A = this chain, B = another copy of it.
Amino acid sequence: MQTAATDTEEELATRQVILQAAYEEIHVRGFQAASLSKILANTNVTKGALYHYFPTKLALGYAVVDEILAEQIQQQWVQPLLQTDDPVTGLIQIIKQAGQELTEEDIYCGCPLNNLAQEMAPVDEGFRSRVEFVYEAWRTGTETAFKNGQDKGFVKKEINATSVATMIVASLEGCMGLAKNARSKKMLYQCGESVMDYLQSLRT
């Protein structure tokens, strides 16, 4: 029933269970207010297992950023955008799809990356730098897509792709943040429309 000696068998199933439960608890309560006891209570894993895989609570939080959030952003925002030729059309499609896939509960809890950024940036440098690494990938991925779009004649040459990429990430996070506090999918869509209008203004 148990796996012992030499991990990596079923991709460390127990570790993944802990990581996922931590991700969910942190998503709702934030990192500092997330209780290890409550995380474990949501699984059938004990504290011994937790501290076998993670030396501290902080290390568990870091792993959530490195192994879950980085992947999420990459798969949802960066990779699909880099596969399109016209970044405006591509990003609008990604935004629409994201809007459809988000449940009301997702909206109520907001973007987990932004949550951790706003909570932990002033409190812990390890968190901040790891979150920044993910944001950096998001921004530079977007920047690359828009530079390619400029080269292929889809996007105005006079815009600064770096600034625009930052603005895009900022406005998306801002929209999600406002919709989260308003608890309103309608506001998310309304704000999303304005973001898409902005994107259209970047066309040649």
The answer, among B29, B135, B167, for a CB contact under 8 Å with A191, is: B167
Q: Which of A50-58, A71-79, A147-155, A181-189 contacts B (4 or more CB under 8 A)?
A: A181-189
Q: How far is the CA of A119 from the CA of B32 in the complex (A)?
A: 10
Say whether A166 contacts B187, CB under 8 Å. yes
Known A-B contacts A33-B33, A171-B170, A193-B163; the reply to A177 vs B178 at CB < 8 A is no
Question: A198 contacts which chain B residues (CB < 8 A)?
Answer: 167, 198, 201
B-chain residues with CB within 8 Å of residue A171 when the two chains form the complex: 167, 170-171, 174
Q: A195 at the A/B interface (Cβ < 8 Å)?
A: yes
B135 touching A108, Cβ below 8 Å? no
Residue contact A194 to B167, C-beta cutoff 8 Å:
yes
Chain A: number of interface residues, binned into ranges: 35 or more
B174-A132 in contact (CB<8A): no
Which residues of B have CB within 8 Å of A20? none
Contact code string A29-41 (vs B, CB < 8 Å = 1, else 0): 1101100000000
In the complex the two chains form, is B180's CB within 8 Å of A174's CB? Answer: no
Stretch at the interface among A1-9, A11-19, A90-98, A120-128: A120-128
Interface residues in chain A, defined as those with a beta carbon under 8 Å from any beta carbon in chain B? 28-30, 32-33, 108-110, 114-115, 117-119, 121-123, 128, 131-132, 135, 160, 162-164, 166-167, 169-175, 177-178, 180-183, 187, 190-191, 193-195, 198, 201
Instruction: Name 23 A/B residue pairs within 8 A (Cβ), A-sorted.
Output: A28-B122, A28-B123, A29-B122, A29-B123, A108-B122, A109-B122, A110-B122, A114-B177, A115-B118, A115-B119, A118-B177, A121-B180, A132-B181, A135-B178, A163-B190, A166-B187, A167-B175, A167-B195, A170-B174, A170-B175, A174-B175, A177-B177, A198-B198
Question: 5 nearest interchain CB pairs?
Answer: A174-B174, A170-B174, A167-B194, A32-B33, A117-B181
